[in-house]
A and B are shown apart, each in its own frame.
Chain A
Amino acid sequence: MKYMMLVCVDEATELSPEEAAQIGPATEAWVEEMDRRGIRLQGHELQRVSDATTISVRGGEVLIADGPFAETKEQIAGYDILDCADLDEAIEVAAKHPVARFGKLELRPFWTE
């Protein structure tokens, strides 16, 4: 079962210097473990929402807007595509992600026919 794991954080969150120093290596360790277990198929960190562009087409016209599609406090800061046996495994994997301690991880199962 494939899940899109959206890594969500409040961009205003200030990490302590120790936390900030930790987050990189801790994330690398998580990626290494999940790659080894064949769970993480792919993933990436994303640029801040100030770099987002939102596109829609209305009445045949392409509308282009600066910023994210939804103005929310928490924004998507990255994603990982997970291949897990079931939701319990996906929950275990998400709970191990270092961002879970200050941000939120949303698990969205892939649409299947």
Chain B
Amino acid sequence: MSQDGGAVGQDGGAAVAEAFRQEWGRVVAALIGMTGDWDLAEECAQDAFAQALKTWPRDGVPRRPGAWLTTVARNRALDRIRRRATETARLRETAALSIPDDPGLDDDESGIPDDRLRLIFTCCHPALALEARVALTLRTLAGLTTAEIARAFMVSEETMAKRLVRAKHKIRDARIPYRVPPAHLLPDRTAGVLGVLYLLFNEGYSASAGTDLVRQGLCAEAIRLARALSQLMPDEPEALGLLALMFLHDARRATRVDDAGDLVRLEDQDRARWDAAEIGEGTVILDAALRRGRPGPYQVQAAIAACHATAATAADTDWTEITALYGQLARMVPSPVVELNRAVAVAMADGPAAGLALVEALDASGALRGYHLLPATRADLLLRLGRRAEATASFREALGLAGTDSERRFLTRRLADLES
């Protein structure tokens, strides 16, 4: 095994931590591909990182850390399978495992085949419960521990462990294939994978400031996974669109709640505190996606987020463009929530009366019954039209429907302002 020795004795531990972030998913994916055994793959990947912690600080970081880790993990898997085979006389398992000794069989300069795409499509298979897809993706691809995932989703470690075990058993017992789906299934399944990553991001994004850093860390994990996916599927502009969308939202994360944990409206956020580097990165990625000429819902949502993120002040926001983008989004994925957002954009572009007409129509359709943002939006538009009594009634209605404390506090403040 070649080691360049450049980092001998120094930062071996840091190098392992970095390799863990970069390579965990690849090592696990490769091991599942070789053995078909998810638990064995995870255990052996863990062993390989433990081995790295022992030897890298002493001998230096290998030139190709991923290949080194995969080889160590693979050898460990072979040992375990051989031992198991002699113990139980199930020799056919080893016979079926024709793993060549040379790790240099592969696809790219890292020296190992990249099976992560197969892994993510399997983790996000629609035959698994949505919560299991999310948990499995975080465990096997991102390398979060069961305890970390449990904390992030506010369930006990035992519950999360059961969820993961059950999902892995189903993959094995029901024979969910370990593969990138064939062409006729690919569009649907890709949308499913993107949906899981976006959900992951939103779980982190909706965590309020200071509550739980593990939960907020989900945003970084989601961005890392979305970046990996966009590299693994270079022909899929929606993967880039999703990555751009995440960056553009994440750039505003620090300003969307105040020190008390209360929501801050977009127009009231301190734009100087938005992360300019993330906005820049998101915009560049979005442009790269749009150049492919195959728009999709994530690219359009990213374009909307870019309009907000690049406006110097709230008053500079290009609402005409945003209105057009919401129109496009509504055609791609018709949904009453998109329609409500379009109504807000129309109100900004063409005046509150035009927006209110759309909100009233939506209200009459009953499609958003029980959704607090509908009366909250109506209240806001009524207020801008000077119809204070009706606005007050609508704020009260929204307050009765709001699901979280921070939303209730926000609406209570609006009501107090109105009545003062």
Contacts and interface: CB of A to CB of B under 8 A. Distances in A.
Interface of A: 1, 3, 85-88, 91, 107, 109, 112
Given A87-B127, A88-B185, A91-B127, A109 B173 contact: yes
Contacts of B174: 3, 87, 107, 109
B92 interface: no
Interface residues of B, number: 9
Given A1-B175, A86-B177, A88-B176, 19 more contacts: A3-B174, A85-B177, A86-B175, A86-B176, A87-B125, A87-B127, A87-B174, A87-B175, A87-B176, A87-B177, A88-B177, A88-B181, A88-B185, A91-B127, A107-B174, A109-B173, A109-B174, A109-B175, A112-B173
B190 to A, nearest CB: 15
B91 to A, nearest CB: 16
| 6 tightest A-B CB contacts, nearest first | A86-B177, A1-B175, A86-B175, A109-B174, A87-B176, A87-B174
A111 B243 CA distance: 41
Interface of B: 125, 127, 173-177, 181, 185
A34 B125 CA distance: 24
B261 to A, nearest CB: 44
A88 B175 CA distance: 9
B325 to A, nearest CB: 34
Nearest to B181: A88
A28 B355 CA distance: 54
A107 B127 CA distance: 10
B172 to A, nearest CB: 10
Nearest to B178: A86
Contacts of A1: 175
Contacts of A86: 175-177
Contacts of A112: 173
Nearest to A89: B177
Contacts of B125: 87
